[in-house]
Amino acid sequence: MNPAEQPAPSALPAWNTLLRVVARVVLALGASFLVDLGALALLPHSASFVTRLMQSGLPKVPGNLGPAAALFAFTVLACALFGWRLWAQRSRSLVYAGLMLAAVLVADLAVLSRFYADIVDPLAAYLSFNPLTDLGYLFGLVVVLPVMVTIVVWRLRSWPRIAAGYVVIVSLLAYLAVDDPRLVAPVSLEQLSPGFPEAEASFNVLMRYGRYHPLGKGFKAPDRIFSGTDRFVDASKPAEWTAWLTRHREAVEADWADLAPVRAWIEELNRSDRIGDLTPARLDAEVIAFSPFRSYGQHACAIAGLQALAGRGDDAIATLLPLLQVSLKLEPSSRTLVRAMVARVLQKLAVTTSGFVLDHAVVSPAMRARLATALTLGISGEAGVRHLLAIECTFITEKAGEQGLGDLVASQRHLLNLVGPFLYNRHRTANLYAAHTADLQALAARRDMTALVRAQSAYLADKAAPGFKNYLGKCLLGFVMPSYGKVVETYWSVDDARAALLARLTKA
């Protein structure tokens, strides 16, 4: 046959090679993802590393460690190339490779001698405080493990082996992505804290001193009473407080005058029968600033203490009533644990100081009745502690239970939404939290503090080693859950003090 008439060679082998390369690259990506996830499930402290990564982004390295990182990378690359050379040519290149490796080490020593103070000392200090650094985790997950996985996958040259690899990878990804079909306890913030006619108006007044509002951010608490070395005390230590008030009378009165804008704000809040909470289920949602409340509460109690020592019992109770009433109105509609705990702290101040006033001054029956009426506001007892523990769980149910991982964590949203189903089962995460919260609510209602602390400790220990399935969901639960032992203990101590004061007034 004439060569000119011969058919052109088939292009199939070239396309087949290209498809095989693409298939192995995709397979290596999927396998690397699963191997990284498996490594995170096995390595110690991986949950804290992932939490820091989600909070703060990539780990920051001191600038003077840059040359050390470059030197390390150069040495590793050189050793890898020489090792490959030795493997390929066996003993024929031993002398050549040995000379080149010696040259690299000499170059390293030269760099170290030139930048010793800038590299070695900071590096030693950095590693001594971080024996397993975040950079080590990141380098292993992004470089070491993927390279090892790719080397293994690249040896799968036949289509049957490649297909078997895909079956394994897809099966594992499907297992990771399977979620609970529905939310077991779908409670919304609106159900936890229903709206009412004046909710929006009262909430808008409250948030004038929000954490990110100009008044909240710019608030500077008057601190004359904290100046010097004389430690601040309160009415929980009556004898010490009496002496402290006498020494600091002028400072207390001057600070109280400076708080006139905050006092006017509290009076306006107190005109509402209830104080609404419209806080949305967002991690970046505006919350109240504690500093204005704390400063107002401490100074209102100090003024009331001075009035009681002067024999003006009715004036002292009148000073305390706005503090007590606002704190009690804050709690029932609370959608954030911050707001609920601020309310409890203020209640403790008001109740303790009211007892001091009753002990040191005469209070008229009419003013006693007003104080007793104020103490019946708000929420208390078992209903109150169940509401308190439900707040964070409701946030997780509404936020995490209905949104993808990328929507929950603002940074890298699109990438996280892509891989999120394999790392984060949103319904399962919310259901785990709801089930644990129900257990804690029952223990808190019974005041079984020992069992509550033990149950939460076991729960958090489990979330510190999340395992393979729903990895980031369990990390999230371990990260967002507060220490409920202290929270519940504070709740019941304030509740008991409030009930005791009410019983004292009613009996009298």
Find the helix or strand (DSSP H, E) in which 403 lies: none
Residue 174 reports pLDDT greater than 90 = yes
Position 372 confidence tier, pLDDT thresholds 50, 70, 90 = very high
Residue 95 reports pLDDT greater than 60 = no
Q: How far apart are CA 367 and CA 375, in angstroms?
A: 13
What 3 state SS string does 258-281 have? HCHHHHHHHHHHHCCCCCCCCCCC
Position 206 confidence tier, pLDDT thresholds 50, 70, 90 = very high
Q: How far apart are CA 497 and CA 242, in angstroms?
A: 21
For residue 280, give Cα distances in angstroms to 193, 277, 391, 394, 436: 11, 9, 12, 11, 23
Stronger pLDDT, 140 or 394, i.e. the higher one:
394
As a whole-number percent, the residues of the chain with pLDDT over 90 amount to 35
139-146's contacts with Cβ under 8 Å and 24+ in sequence apart are 140/39, 141/36, 141/39, 141/40, 145/32, 145/35, 145/36, 145/39, 146/28, 146/32, 146/35, 146/36
Half-sphere exposure of 251 (CA within 13 A, CB side): 16
Helix (H, G, I), strand (E, B) or coil at 331: coil
- Out of 51-60, 174-183, 222-231, the most confident range is 174-183
Helix (H, G, I), strand (E, B) or coil at 425: coil
C-beta separation of 341 from 487 below 8 A: yes
Least confident of 187-201, 228-242, 285-299, 436-450: 228-242
pLDDT of residue 129: 43
pLDDT of residue 258: 92
Helix (H, G, I), strand (E, B) or coil at 43: coil
Q: What is the pLDDT of residues 321-366, one digit of tens each?
A: 999 999 999 999 998 888 999 999 999 999 999 999 999 999 999 9
Residue 193 reports pLDDT greater than 50 = yes
Position 50 confidence tier, pLDDT thresholds 50, 70, 90 = confident
Residue 65 reports pLDDT greater than 60 = no
Position 98 confidence tier, pLDDT thresholds 50, 70, 90 = low
Residue 406 reports pLDDT greater than 90 = no
One-letter amino acid of 257: A
Q: Cα-Cα-Cα-Cα dihedral of 5, 6, 8, 12, to 10°?
A: 150
443 burial (CB, 10 Å; 0-12 / 13-18 / 19+) is buried
pLDDT of residue 153: 87
C-beta separation of 411 from 57 below 8 A: yes
One-letter amino acid of 107: A
Q: What is the pLDDT of residues 69-81, one digit of tens each?
A: 666 666 666 666 6
Kindly state the tokens that stand for 334. Answer: 């609370």
pTM above 0.85, yes or no: no
